[in-house]
Structure 1
Amino acid sequence: MKILILRFSSIGDIVLTSPVIRCLRQTMEGAEIHYCTKRRYQELIAHNPYIDKCHYLDDSLMQLVGQLRSEHYDLVIDLHNSLRTRLIKGMLAKRSVTVNKINMQKWLYVRFKANVMPPVHIVDRYMDTIRALGVSNDEKGLDYFISAEDQVPLSQLPPTHQSAYVAYALGGQHATKRLPVERMIDLCRKIDRPIVLLGDQHDRQTGELICSALGDDLIYNACDLFSVNQSASLLGRAQMVYSHDTGLMHIAAALKKPIVSIWGSTTPQLGMYPYKTRHLIVENTALNCRPCSKIGHDKCPLGHFKCMNDLSFSIDPAFIGSNEMQNQY
């Protein structure tokens, strides 16, 4: 059987599909598995040994469809369920299965704060999509594969960070999923251990502000210095990871790192919390305005941003202490 998996974005969502790929490979012997995503995300899947062939969307959807038609698939697994994937499925005219995005439940939860969300992680909803094929979840969590050339040697870090460090993933596609800079500084001051800041070009300036406030001995601003896979290698060497609701959090989960997961306008009840790794959720549960969006906003709709401004950093010392002991390198 020849199978095509569709998921076009984004970093975290693509990583969260990895159990589907692995479990398909383990269950369906002899199956040929292809994966299709946007070109910008190719490094996320390029080294996955369970994928036989990768296809990438560049500028032309029709050109991509032409390439996919030539493969003559037996089955299309749509883990995105978007207009684009529906068009592709229609033009391929092959048997398909599609993830249930439970949009009505999400709308009720965000709009009226009626928590009708099923207590099910998005990974398990992805796995439900292929249950009829006889594929079940092996409960081994997420996968993330890093090539040898993308492994960042510790010698590239400052001497202050070469023996041990904590990683902090600053990113978040929308501002209301990120702590304000002043609160990031507060958090890093509370951590009070060497910290490697990770993010992209949009996070570089924020990292510089944190570094200026707390000094080079505590902070190494690695934002925009490394690729996603190189940043993943730094996550893998960290004692523990602090992260907003962002793609690097899911990569850290795939690497089985202990995670302090920080939530603002979105909530873990939407089903995107760290999957099958030790984690601690930090959120302001006293507000009746959360979640205000399923993906986040550019600014707080009410203007107060209390979900992040009033967030407590009272993190259980037992969680931190146990992970220090378990993650020496």
Structure 2
Amino acid sequence: MKLLVAGPETLGEVVCSTALLRCMQQQLPVLELHYWVAPHLGAGLVHNTFINHLHLLEDDPDLLPASDFDQLVDFRPSRSLRQWAASHRIAYLSAHNSFLVSFLSEHFGWYQHSDQPLPLQYFEVVRSLGVQYDGRGLNYFLGVADEIAPADIPLSHSAGYLALVVGESGYDKQVPLPLISAFCQRFTLPIILVNSTGASADAAALARIDPDRIYNACGKFTLNETADLLRRAKLVVSNENDLMQVAVAFNRPLLVCRSARGASPFFPPLYPKAQHRQGAATPFASWVWPAASPALLRKAAQGILGKREKLWVEQGLKLASSFWQGKETA
């Protein structure tokens, strides 16, 4: 079977699809798996051994090399791609994403939240193919050239560090930056700031708190090198989905910093089932900034921290210290 996967449009969702790629490759007989994704999202797939052919192309399916595909699995999805599949007599499966949900999320910041990890929702799309989740989590493969050399980070961070993801939208879009600054000031162990988008004014501001202890890696490494920084971290703190999913793929302890106001979609991370056996500690905790009035948000953004804000910082410090010491939450 020649199967084409039209990959999602964000890095985090692409990483979430890797569990499905592995299971399709291992469970479908004589499968030739093609994966089509935008060029800027291909770095994490170049070394994926479960993909037979990787197509790094923009949105036009006519740019794909001529091939008699038997099946198209569409994770975008789009009407034009459905029509393209029909015109080429290719069986079509797609993720269900209504126009109304897309419109509300794009224009009003309204998102659907789910208790089910996003990778498991992808398996629902291919239920008719008989593919089942194998319990082994996500994948992110690196090449030898992607690995960070010891000299690439400060010597003071070589014994262990917290990787703090500074999302593209900036923490002030979900949690005011001064609250993250307060956390960085009081967390006395080494921190490396990372993102997937390049230089960041927020990261520069956080690094100025203590340049020796807080190393700003934003814009200094490739995406896969940044992934290697996450792989080596003792703990990852993230407020955005993209690098959060990369950290999950490496089974790193994760503290998700997010707002209860629903500023972005949130899906629980999917770790291997072996890490969720009864009585075992889980490498994940959610550090939720409670919904607040616009007036309180403005004060927090100005660095005026009230009792609620100080309690939130304390909670994050306790969770981070617990993870650092290997005492994950049960």
Partner of 1:279: 284
The structural deviation recorded for 1:118 is 5.3
Partner of 1:238: 233
Partner of 1:23: 23
Distance 1:266 1:47, change over 3 A: farther
Distance 1:266 1:41, change over 3 A: farther
Q: Aligned runs of 1:1-329 on 2, under 5 Å?
A: 1-58=1-58, 61=60, 64-68=61-65, 70-83=66-79, 85-101=81-97, 119-173=115-169, 177-200=173-196, 203-212=199-208, 214-264=209-259, 267=262, 270-276=265-271, 278-287=283-292, 305=297, 312-313=312-313, 314-315=315-316, 317=318, 320-325=321-326
Specify every segment of 5 or more residues in structure 2 that has no aligned partner in the other structure, as ranges: 272-281, 302-307
Distance 1:172 1:91, change over 3 A: farther
Distance 1:11 1:116, change over 3 A: closer
Distance 2:255 2:118 in 1: 19
Q: Which is further off, 85-94 or 191-200?
A: 85-94
Number of matched pairs: 309
Report if aligned partners of 2:247, 2:254 keep a CA contact under 8 Å in 1.
Answer: yes
TM-score by length of 1: 0.81
Q: Provide Cα deviations, 1:49-82, integer angstroms capped at 9, x if missing partner.
A: 0000011224x72xx42534x1110100111213
Report if aligned partners of 1:253, 1:275 keep a CA contact under 8 Å in 2.
Answer: yes
Distance 1:90 1:305 in 2: 50
Partner of 1:299: none
TM-score by length of 2: 0.81
Partner of 1:294: none
Distance 2:263 2:134 in 1: 23
Report if aligned partners of 1:10, 1:41 keep a CA contact under 8 Å in 2.
Answer: yes
Distance 2:217 2:42 in 1: 22
Question: Identity, % of aligned pairs?
Answer: 22
Q: Which residue type is aligned with residue 325 of structure 1?
A: G
Report if aligned partners of 2:12, 2:243 keep a CA contact under 8 Å in 1.
Answer: yes
Distance 1:113 1:261, change over 3 A: same
The structural deviation recorded for 1:115 is 10
Q: Which residue type is aligned with residue 22 of structure 1?
A: R
Specify every segment of 5 or more residues in structure 1 that has no aligned partner in the other structure, as ranges: 290-301
Q: Which residue type is aligned with residue 62 of structure 2?
A: V
CA RMSD of aligned residues (A): 3.4
